[in-house]
Chains A and B, each alone.
Chain A
Amino acid sequence: MAHSYTPGLKVLKKTLFRKERILPLKGKVLVKKGDKLSPDTVVASTNLPGNVQMLKVNNILNIEPRDVVDCLVVKEGDIVKKGDMIAETAGIFGMFKSFVDCPVDGTIESISESTGRVIVREVPIPVEVDAYVSGTVDEVIEKEGIILKCDAAFIQGIFGIAGEKRGELVLVSNNSSDELTSDQITEEMAGKILIGGSFLSLDAYKKAMSCNVAAVVVGGFNYYDLKAVLGYDLGVAITGTEQLPTALIVTEGYGSIPMSDATFDLLKNNHGNEASVNGATQIRAGVIRPEIVIPMLSESEAEDSLSKEPEGIQEGSTVRVIRSPNFGKIGTVSSLPSELKKMESETMVRVAEISIDGVDTLILPKNIKRR
């Protein structure tokens, strides 16, 4: 049977979720293999080297760079406090001395005879990495972090903004094709993850942020509204560092598009459960999609009920069209012919024949995804 391998997003009812939680620099791992973790457990910590201050000692003292060493009252490796004197000139008969004071707390990192500069490294900046999701430590990566594992429902969105958030899932839209409106968002939803249907307007998103909602998961959002949220045109889809109170995870695309039934039903069935989400997206080499992880705390479902990874599209697959002019239409693949067909644009492409409601048949380039 013919197959079409278009990249699909994962919608998994139950999967073995594994996640690396790694420090930006080597440091100390604080947990051991098998430890149970809650999302807030700190699993590893380190100190990032502090900022650097470069002091042009020769300029300040008005001397040649090679003479700087003779004037220093500190040496490499010394710990210094703000205001400590680090260099002074001999002056004239001990009078009219010039001084250089240290502008920050830190350590003397290096002294250069060629440029006359003294480099002071500020105190290190502590960094901690938490578990992000409830689970257990599957593997410890020495000095770097851990790999966490848990059984979880796992959903990938198509695009998101803002980084990691966690909270209780709350079903707000009753139907996958309903818009999540601003009047449905209340103060009581602070810290929760809201599940919407087809669309979230800019007003509704602003309301969610003002109510300190942790995240909103929805089918579609307007591309041009992103500028009002971010303050700039989003040219390249690399997100995750935005400092926003509410993460946004869009599951289908830009515009008003009903959330796929598989995604909506899975979220609906987990109403009231704790989840962790991350809006970080990178649509580039090393692609990253936003994610919703719902850890399963009970062992209710047998191992063999693990969801399968999405397969390629084949005859009989239910699919959704993801490009104009039939954007959003849902149908069943009736045929995947191997020969190229000419489109209205005269582009020669391999196509999929899709039956809509068993009545109309669309012949399309493979601008489709599994529903």
Chain B
Amino acid sequence: MSLNEQHTQRRPIRVPLAEKLWPFLRASVNVFGSVIVTIFGLLLITFIIGRVMPIDPVLSIVGEQASQSSYDAAYLELGLDKPLLVQFFYYLWDVIHLDFGTSLLNARPVTEDIARVFPATLELATIGIFMGMIFGIPLGVLAAVRKGSWIDQIARVVALVGYSMPIFWLGLMGLFLFYGVLGWVGGPGRVGIFYVDIVPSVTGMILIDAMLAGNWDVFKNAFSHIILPASLLGYYSLAYISRMTRSFMLEQLSAEYITTARVKGMSEWDVVWKHAFKNIRVQLITVIALSYAGLLEGSVLTEIIFSWPGIGSYITTALLSADMNAVLGGTVVVGLIFILLNIFSDLLYKVFDPRAK
């Protein structure tokens, strides 16, 4: 066979999908073990916090005026006569069964409360982080590419304002302007008073529930309510994301492989997006995951200003009224979010960075 024939027979070897996904799967198994350990640690800490808090759990149930006998009955019912270790295992058992006890404020199971408030925060934070990414990343890249130009200066001011303006002030001004004066958006709350409970709650996120029910009036109304607080959170994360993107990009743009790409005759657009940007994806994922976790934890100030019944204001209210079951339940959920997002970004690293395999 001549050399030429050999060459014509060669075809690019396509890497099969299974081979691409394999590192992902293997990593998932490894990660699973560390997750179990981390969650165990999280529960241990919340348990200890619950026990060292100078709040008598029995008193907060039966009240100051209770007789000794009802106090003792509640004491035994809570299992407080058992050794701490046994109590901890009771606690673990309950948590595994998604039982965080009942809230003292409204006498409903904490799990039910969280299932109600968390989707509200999830909806708000997800739209917020998407806005932060969609505007923050290109702004950061542009600022790095045009370093020192007026675009860079504007990006700097935009981010600085985002960092340093108190979010409640921006929120109030936003409400005043866009709701009060211009009437472009809905006011506080998740939907207008006439739209409450019209669509059945499936996911707890009104936008999605309205879509599932095909009720576009509710969707529009809910959208007009969420857009302002979500933009506010989006702006807040944009400030952070764009600054980090800029500094990551500056680091990459001065690397030698960028010169290589230019020597190849590539356009500046390709140099920036096909070469430099590919190298900052891993770092960006960390930054975005952290901001997202921060937003999911509940932005108390935003939630209060916009009367948004999310997890941030739920935990804060519970804390102020010493509702320990609700506080601990909320803390566990927030901890879980951080753990999950960390795992997720760890897994994405393996996809985006060949060196991490």
Tell me if chain B binds chain A: no
Taking beta carbons and an 8 Å cutoff, which residues of A are in contact with B?
none
